[in-house]
Amino acid sequence: MAIQQIDNTTAWLADPRNIEEQRALLEQARTQLLTDHVHLGGDIVRLELILDAKVKTACTNGKAIRFSPLFSASISRKDRKFVYAHEVVHKSLNHPYRIGRIAKSHRDFEIANIAFDAVVNRVLVAAGLTLPEDAVWLPQYDDLCEEEIFALLSKAPDVGNGKPGEQGEGTAGWAPSQSEDNKEGEEEEEESNPGGGEDSEGSKDEGPKDEGSEDSKDEGSEGTPYEVPHASKWGEVEEATHDDGSPLTEEEIDEALKDQAVHNASTQRVAKLIGDKGSAYGAALEEANERAGFSWEDELADFVEANNDGDPQETWSRVDRRFVGEDEWLPGSETEGLGAVYILQDESGSVGNAELQLAWEHIKKIHSEQEPAKIVLIRFDHNVNGEPEVFEPGDDLGELVRKGCGGTLIGPPLQWIRDHGEEEPSCIIVLTDLGIFDWHSSHIAVPNCPVIWADCSGAWHSGSKPPFGRKILVTQ
């Protein structure tokens, strides 16, 4: 059957044959997903399917997928299949259990849905599905998790207006152009009659619940035509709750996250056994889940700790300066594996001051708890500004002061380390907004140690990817 144009939603919903027809079409979409994309895992069958005319398009709360029969009738078979898979991956990525932790207002939920959609659609493209035209597609955020994308989009004006691509490259984007390798070869205009006969209502065994009654009509459904929402709004996430609508406890959320983690691990094992698409999907799902529960503070601390090969050892060759002022002389400590940690501070005017100060406070915590042999602070913009400062265990790092205001070149501080560093750094942390002009230059002295780029860009985010090292986004 062709895509329907529904001119009178009240009359259309009152005809039970329409509801049954969409029930059968959605069951068909689920069957096709199980057949063609088995790597999507058991979440396809773990989610109950419910038809609900109060839903704008489709949504999931982690237990069920609620699908508007009006929406289902107004889109193609290929798009119906995509939206179904989209909701399944929301479940696989624990979005119903995560959205309440970051969204506190209606606008927050709208922005969180865009952020979640960006990651879901990234995974679905890896699975070999074709995105609908104008679906959320944010390639500039490919290396970020949902919470990071939410933090950036929350600072963008008017992001929840239904067309996330109009705010510019730093805010959102559109669906990718589809190559022949990513086409599914499905007909969009014609649909087979899933029930088998002209008047068939489809199978009623274990089908979705019928919610197409008068109680299910939404505010705009009485006698009005149905208009398909913009594709950036297709498929949403609701916060997981108990059946009576009461919120889950933190313990219950954590238990649900653990259960999904076990299920995802099984899905990824199966995905790797069934060919290229399954392998790519499994890898994309694994990568997205590894970023889940984002904490830049933990990632920064883990980065430093990963380069520490030994526990701090007491030594009288270094006095613990924290107690000298109290006339107490105690042995200091030195770390066998974690030597000098170099901090390169971008002093250009575009660096977000609040984010820069947050990163510095966390570095002070690392300095106190992990006790590297020393911290070397190098301030730079288009050159190294002044003499680098050296802090040993027990020293007070004090407040971070920004003195420079020029352009940003990473070459000079890296060259200074190579020319003047007394020892090879254990790791380098660059506090910057990534607005660096020379990092692709062949003259850059790429260090032989791990490098992490702490993006302190604040409201502005270029989406730039450093040519070496890891990147984290510092958010308030």
Residue pLDDT, tens place only, 390-433: 998 889 988 887 766 667 889 999 999 988 876 778 889 998 88
Residues 6 or more apart from 324 whose CB is under 8 A from it?
none
pLDDT at 211 over 70: no
Tokens of 74: 């107004």
Model pLDDT, residue 187: 46
Question: Which pLDDT belongs to residue 296?
Answer: 65
| CATH 3.40.50 domain locations along the chain | 298-473
Bigger pLDDT: 410 or 292?
Answer: 410
User: Is 239 or 128 the better-scoring residue by pLDDT?
Assistant: 239
Beta carbons within 8 Å of 33's beta carbon, 6+ residues apart: 40, 44, 81, 84, 85, 88
Q: What is the pLDDT of residue 182?
A: 47
Between CA 441 and CA 434 the distance in angstroms is 15
Q: Which residues pair with 341 in a beta bridge?
A: 375, 427
Q: What percent of the chain has pLDDT over 90?
A: 29
Query: pLDDT tens, 433-474?
Result: 888 888 778 778 788 888 888 888 765 555 677 888 888 878
Q: With beta carbons less than 8 A apart as the criterion, state whether 117 and 124 touch.
A: no
CATH of domain 298-473: 3.40.50
Calculate ∠ Cα 127-132-136, nearest 5°: 85
Query: For the residues 208-227, what does the mean pLDDT come to?
Result: 57
Band of pLDDT at residue 1, cut at 50, 70 and 90: low
Query: Which pair of structure tokens corresponds to residue 164?
Result: 């996330």
The share of the chain scoring above pLDDT 70, in percent, equals 70
pLDDT recorded at residue 278: 56
How many Å apart are CA 116 and CA 155, to the nearest integer?
Answer: 16
The average confidence (pLDDT) of the chain is 77
**Higher per-residue pLDDT: 80 or 195:** 80
**pLDDT tens, residue by residue, 86-98:** 999 999 899 999 9
More confident residue, 127 or 169: 127
**CA 269/CA 78 separation, integer angstroms:** 27
Q: Quote the DSSP letter at residue 90.
A: H
Q: Is the pLDDT of residue 206 over 70?
A: no
Q: What is the mean pLDDT of residues 36-44?
A: 76
